[in-house]
Structures are given as structure tokens and as C-alpha cells.
């Protein structure tokens, strides 16, 4: 009798596991074209009418920066993302003389970035300023911004490849590879989506360039590797849209003679829609 009970319980557990795994197994079997994956992602944000009703978005919250390589320590500050149609601005402010924060913006024509001193950009802001297509094509900050590139993928004319479900950060996620048509955009980009919900939960950008300063001929094969990883979580409904309220940004530089690893933990406390934002807000007057 006890054996039968154990058998019944075991079978019940197997059924529960099978049910729980069903969305992931179905995703593995399901072959989605890039446009199908993007359409499902957009539906996860909200209905077409709800999305079209929003032309501007303002987020406000807190941010903690952690210097893990190339520095040490943490700072706490304020954060916001302003966006209006395809215009966007990120601000991480810490009020420290040695590190005031990060600011990048796109005004629809030009990308600008905040400086720590004349000609001296913080590492992340400097990278985005140099590789301006990341903002011009709306690839950073995901659905936190109305400029999110997947809202209007047709205008980007990017080469897209839906490569199925991959295990990333210990999770099974749909992977979408994005290749810009911009001839100067040599940064590789990937976007990741939950199979169950099709929410965008991760972005990854990579760039490899030869080391700019060669000490001798043997250094010629050395590379400097840059990486940006964004993670999104804590999705909540705001004005009929499901948007993340947790944003983790990681910037890595792996160089032959030293590197950088900095993370920003960004918690969104409030999201507001419908404000009329002055276009001047999206320019930081960088030269």
C-alpha cells in the first residue's frame, strides 16, 4: 500500500514538472521568425492602441554604482530616463567630484554625453558617445524608453536573426541577434526574451578592437574587449503597459594592461506618461 502511494505521488510530481516545463519545451520546438518574435514581444508590453497612446515617458528612481575592477567602492544616487518618440536621455547622478555620474542623450539628430572635465568622459558615456548608433537606433534601455528600437524595426533596416532558445544567466531565453546597417556600427548586439511571456529581459553588446598602443610587435594581436549587458526585471503595469521597474547595467572593458567592470543597479520608482518634454532636454551640449 505504501509503495502504491509513493508511486502515485511520484507520478503526480512528474506531471507537475511537465506542466511547468511546457512553455519552455514548446518554445524550443517553436521556430519563430524575427518579426514574429518582435510582434510577440510588443504584445507583451501592451495592445497596439495602448502603445500608440504613449509618445513620451519619464522614469525616476535611484541608482547604486559599484566599481568592481579598475576601481573600488559604491555610490548611491538618483536616476532618470527621459524619452519622447525617438528622443532619449539617461541620467545617473551621484554628486561626487571624482565621479559625478553618467549622462547620454539623443536629440533626434546628434548624440551627446556629459563630461567629468573638458574632453574627459566617464567610460560608459564615452563609449556610447563614440558608438552613437546605440542611441540613434534605440538599442539601449529597452522598453523603459519610447525610443526602443523594436517599436519600429522596419525603419532601422537591420539584419535580424532569431536563433532560438539559448541558456543565458541560467535561464532559457529566446535570442534575437541584431546587426545594424550602419557601416560604422561594428558592435554586435543580442536581445533576449522570456519564452513564457516574451518580455525583453536582457540586452548584450560586444566590441573587439586592436589595442591602440603597441609596446612592441608581439602586442599586435592583443585586443581590447568592450561589453554592455542590461538586465530588466520587476515588470509592472503602468497606464495599460507592462514595463520593467528594475534595470541593471554592466559595462566591462577587458584590456591587455588593465580593465574596467562597473555595474549600476537602477530601481525605477515612478513612470509617467504624456508629459511634453522640451527638445533641449535631449542635448548635453558636448562638442
The domain containing residue 22 runs over which residues? 1-30
| pLDDT per position as a tens digit, 119-175 | 899 999 999 999 999 999 999 999 999 999 999 999 999 999 999 999 999 999 999
| 165, 144 contact by CB (below 8 A) | no
Strand partners, 147: none
Global pTM reads: 0.87
Residues 20 and 121 in one domain: no
Residues 2 and 62 in one domain: no
Residues 6+ apart with CB under 8 A from 234: 244, 245, 246
| pLDDT per position as a tens digit, 82-121 | 999 999 999 999 989 999 999 999 999 999 999 998 889 9
Residues 7 and 109 in one domain: no
- The answer to whether position 90 is within a domain reads yes
Number of domains in the chain: 2
Q: Strand 101-106 and strand 87-93: pairing?
A: antiparallel
- The answer to whether position 149 is within a domain reads yes
Angle, CA of 151, 153 and 159, to the nearest 5°: 150
Residues 6+ apart with CB under 8 A from 104: 89, 90, 111, 112, 113, 114, 125, 128, 129, 135, 284
Amino acid at each position: 500500500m505504501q509503495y502504491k502511494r509513493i508511486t502515485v505521488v511520484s507520478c503526480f510530481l512528474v506531471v507537475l514538472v511537465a506542466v511547468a516545463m511546457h512553455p519552455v519545451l514548446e518554445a524550443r520546438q517553436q521556430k519563430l521568425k524575427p518579426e514574429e518574435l518582435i510582434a510577440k514581444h510588443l504584445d507583451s508590453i501592451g495592445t497596439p492602441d495602448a502603445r500608440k497612446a504613449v509618445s513620451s515617458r519619464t522614469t525616476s528612481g535611484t541608482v547604486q554604482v559599484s566599481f568592481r575592477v579598475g576601481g573600488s567602492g559604491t555610490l548611491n544616487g538618483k536616476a532618470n530616463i527621459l524619452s519622447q518618440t525617438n528622443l532619449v536621455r539617461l541620467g545617473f547622478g551621484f554628486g561626487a567630484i571624482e565621479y559625478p555620474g553618467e549622462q547620454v542623450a539623443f536629440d533626434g539628430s546628434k548624440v551627446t554625453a556629459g563630461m567629468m572635465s573638458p574632453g574627459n568622459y566617464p567610460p560608459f558615456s564615452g563609449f556610447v558617445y563614440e558608438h552613437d548608433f546605440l542611441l540613434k537606433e534605440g538599442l539601449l534601455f529597452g522598453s523603459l524608453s519610447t525610443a526602443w528600437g523594436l517599436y519600429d524595426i522596419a525603419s532601422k533596416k537591420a539584419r535580424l536573426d532569431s536563433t532560438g532558445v539559448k541558456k543565458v544567466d541560467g535561464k532559457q531565453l529566446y535570442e534575437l541577434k541584431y546587426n545594424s546597417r550602419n557601416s560604422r556600427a561594428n558592435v554586435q548586439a543580442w536581445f533576449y526574451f522570456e519564452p513564457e511571456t516574451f518580455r525583453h529581459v536582457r540586452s548584450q553588446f560586444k566590441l573587439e578592437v586592436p589595442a591602440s598602443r603597441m609596446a612592441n610587435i608581439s602586442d599586435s594581436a592583443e585586443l581590447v574587449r568592450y561589453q554592455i549587458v542590461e538586465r530588466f526585471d520587476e515588470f509592472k503595469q503602468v497606464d495599460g503597459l507592462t514595463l520593467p521597474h528594475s534595470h541593471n547595467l554592466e559595462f566591462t572593458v577587458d584590456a591587455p594592461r588593465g580593465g574596467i567592470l562597473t555595474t549600476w543597479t537602477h530601481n525605477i520608482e515612478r513612470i509617467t506618461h504624456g508629459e511634453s518634454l522640451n527638445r533641449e532636454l535631449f542635448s548635453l551640449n558636448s562638442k
